[in-house]
Structure 1
Amino acid sequence: MNSEIPAKKIEPMSKTERFFSLPIGQQNDVCEVVNEILEAVYASSSSSSEDSESENEQHERCNNFEGTLDAMSGMDFKAHMRLKRKTVVYLTTRYSTYSFVADQSGVGRSRITPKKSIYMYIWYISNSVTFRQLGNLFGVATSSAWSVVQRVSRYLVSISDEYIKWPEGIELQKTTEKFYQKQRIPGVIGDIDCTHIGIKGPKDQKEMYFNRKKTYSIVLQAVVDADKKFIDVTYGEPGSLHDYRVLRRSKLFNDADRLHEQMFAGSYFIIGDSAYPTKNWLVSAYKDYGNLTQSQRKFNEIHSSTRMVVENTFGLFKGRFRRLMKFTEQTDLQTITNIVVSACVLHNICITHDDLCGAEENEMDDAVSFEIEEEIEELNSNSNLDRRENLFNYLRQHNLI
């Protein structure tokens, strides 16, 4: 008889038992890895179906992306940030004096420096990243990334009067000279047009923001000078509104009549496409219903060539700040408005610092300013005609059409 006791069968340890058999330090390491995986899965599953491919790509968590940017050459820095380093340095210096920037004293979690704040804001508006991705990239919480973008946006809006302003004096003379050199039209201060900023459909009055292209948007109306700088912006009107209705509801429309002598000095004007009316301060193109004369068609060609500046400005603006193609996370319209206006301010700062992405500069002829003054007097010699008819007759008399 065999008296040996049979060996006890050892059951394999479950995954839970193996985890708790690990030292505490290793358990913490495993937890951190699991949490990161869960966050990535959550971010991927919660992304809107409308988000672009770049928004669905998750940035790995970084500890010193700021240092990586600092170590880049000037060319690489511009390629990634879409701004020259000197422009970013200037903006950081200005922002560091902002009264709402948190100081670096105190205890607990370290404060986000002004430089990192500017880097985060620029990266957000220059790309289509989500706030979670932005936080991962710069090593901060998602809520902190959101707060930084809002804070920098508010700062730029607070200094908008310094950078978005109607030309006067020497600036007025320079911009009319540059417009005159394009197609010999005297007295042009700027070009006006509208562009749409894509948004998610808001909860309130959703149908008002549904535009003719069957997407949701808010309208940005802008007047730009010959250097592609914004000199007046109106933002926040629903995407369903026609360009003319946006103009009629804008402060510019009221000011142009109320402060006409101050803004246009009785001689100057802005130009817009055929969607706009013709007024003593606004010259639009002829509406083409197939019955225009050859001279009127030639007028429209010259008019369009001069007006091309505003189209180029919008292309430069959205090409540099790609977030403005569409807001896929933000739903608060006031927040979106602040970000868009802040981008307009930054656009003008870039132009002021010769940061134009390869835009060409036009050299001015010293004799042009004297010639323009004479041409403006001739252009406005017949006060019985409206401004467009005066301009039409002027161009025909000078064999330009």
Structure 2
Amino acid sequence: MENQQRRTRVPREVTILIAVRFLATGNYQRGVGEEWILSTSQQVVSRCISEVSNLIVIHLGPICIQFPLQNIQKMDIKRGFSEKGGFPGIVGCIDCTHISILSPALEEHNYVNRKGFHSKNVQIICSYNLKILNINARFPGSTNDAYIWRSSQIKQFLQNEYNRGERNTWLIGDSGYPLEPWLMTPFDNNPPPNTPEGRYNQSHKITRSIIERCNGRLKGIFRCLSGERKLRYSPQKVGVIVNACAVLHNICIDAGLEFDEDLNQNDDNEDPDNNIQAHIQNPDLNQGRQVRQQIVQRYFTNV
């Protein structure tokens, strides 16, 4: 942070408190500044939010948000997911969630999502303990989940690992995502509960609820993301704020902080229109079906 050379410079501790207070409450900047313990102007609050959010993302982001690359990290996450829902080989749950924003000045129509309000569509991958492993807050609200996934670095990484011979590692996502050898989605034909496919879907559903809880808790702790008040910033600044909240979310988990149960509410973002988009231009669909069938036969047939 800046050196405190000017007498009028807000102390570093107060700067951090102002920013975190805003992230936690989602209050208007003037309201945050008028709190007696902070007592600063709206302009100062705005600068504090920008400074602290940027520093969190730049300096703490690479440390606190890491996708598992080493085998020992993958094995630990796979074990945790298997204990939660009985689904093997999972290194992360993936889903998108909408962050409400004020109508932007540029390309406004791109930010109108399927529910009719302006937003950014944020892709999140989480671990079994709700820790965020990867986050992508670059896309406008009209972008569907499958498109965001296709441009993801994590997709490219998992695809490369598969091509190198990795055959027991995948993400898990809803029907809005394409079925690929490294991304398992449910069967769409609602198989009966006591069949192998039905048991697969049930385990898939239990496991996938983890990402819904993760998104719900993120918005529950950091109310600026909850949509109660739209984020009144440029889409780029909103992306920085979302990423900063994700970093702080992981710090809370690492610190072992406990949260109320109502902060673990599901954030169901599934959209039937997304299901159609997920299967468009998917050259890996047949291989994905083969891998999914192998999982069913190996883990869900003789239960």
The TM-score normalised by the length of structure 1 is 0.63
Tell me which structure has the larger Cα radius of gyration: 1
Report whether the alignment pairs 1:112 with 2:10. yes
Residues 279, 386 of structure 1: 8 Å contact kept = no
Residues 182, 288 of structure 2: 8 Å contact kept = no
Aligned AA (1:282): L
Q: Deviation of residue 385 (structure 1)?
A: 6.5
**Distance across 2 between alignment mates of 1:256 and 1:395:** 22
Q: Deviation of residue 206 (structure 1)?
A: 1.5
Q: Deviations over 1:235-267 (max 9, x none)?
A: 1212112211121122222333235478x9432
**Distance across 2 between alignment mates of 1:162 and 1:179:** 22
Label 1:272 to 1:144 Cα distance change in 2 as closer, same or farther (>3 A): same
Q: Deviations over 1:271-304 (max 9, x none)?
A: 011111111111011123x6x3542333212110
Residues 26-37 of structure 1: matches in 2 within 5 Å?
none
1:153 — aligned with what?
Answer: 53
SS in 2 for 1:286: coil
**Distance across 1 between alignment mates of 2:73 and 2:11:** 36
Report whether the alignment pairs 1:285 with 2:186. yes
Residues 98, 119 of structure 2: 8 Å contact kept = yes
Label 1:180 to 1:141 Cα distance change in 2 as closer, same or farther (>3 A): same
Report whether the alignment pairs 1:357 with 2:264. no
Aligned AA (2:301): Q
Q: Deviations over 1:279-334 (max 9, x none)?
A: 1111011123x6x3542333212110011110111111100001002353523111
SS in 2 for 1:393: helix
Aligned AA (1:204): L
Residues 266-345 of structure 1: matches in 2 within 5 Å?
266-288=167-189, 292-294=191-193, 295=195, 296-326=197-227, 328=230, 330-345=232-247
Residues 179, 288 of structure 2: 8 Å contact kept = no
**Distance across 2 between alignment mates of 1:322 and 1:277:** 31
Aligned AA (2:13): K
Q: Deviation of residue 227 (structure 1)?
A: 1.1
Q: Deviation of residue 117 (structure 1)?
A: 1.6
Report whether the alignment pairs 1:395 with 2:296. no
Residues 224-303 of structure 1: matches in 2 within 5 Å?
224-260=126-162, 265-288=166-189, 292-294=191-193, 295=195, 296-303=197-204
Report whether the alignment pairs 1:177 with 2:75. no
SS in 1 for 2:34: helix
SS in 2 for 1:397: coil
Deviates more, 1:344-353 or 1:245-254: 245-254
User: Structure with the greater relative contact order (CA < 8 A, sep ≥ 6): 1 or 2?
Assistant: 2
SS in 1 for 2:199: helix
Supply the RMSD in Å over aligned alpha carbons.
2.2
Residues 100, 119 of structure 2: 8 Å contact kept = yes
Residues 231, 238 of structure 2: 8 Å contact kept = no
Q: Deviation of residue 357 (structure 1)?
A: 1.2
Which sections of structure 1, spanning at least 5 residues, go unmatched? Answer: 1-100, 360-382
Query: Percent same amino acid at aligned positions?
Result: 25
**Distance across 2 between alignment mates of 1:385 and 1:128:** 43
Aligned AA (1:187): G
SS in 1 for 2:240: helix
Aligned AA (2:138): G
**Distance across 1 between alignment mates of 2:205 and 2:288:** 25
1:144 — aligned with what?
Answer: 44
Aligned residues: 271
Aligned AA (2:84): K
Q: Deviation of residue 384 (structure 1)?
A: 10
Q: Deviation of residue 388 (structure 1)?
A: 1.1
The TM-score normalised by the length of structure 2 is 0.83
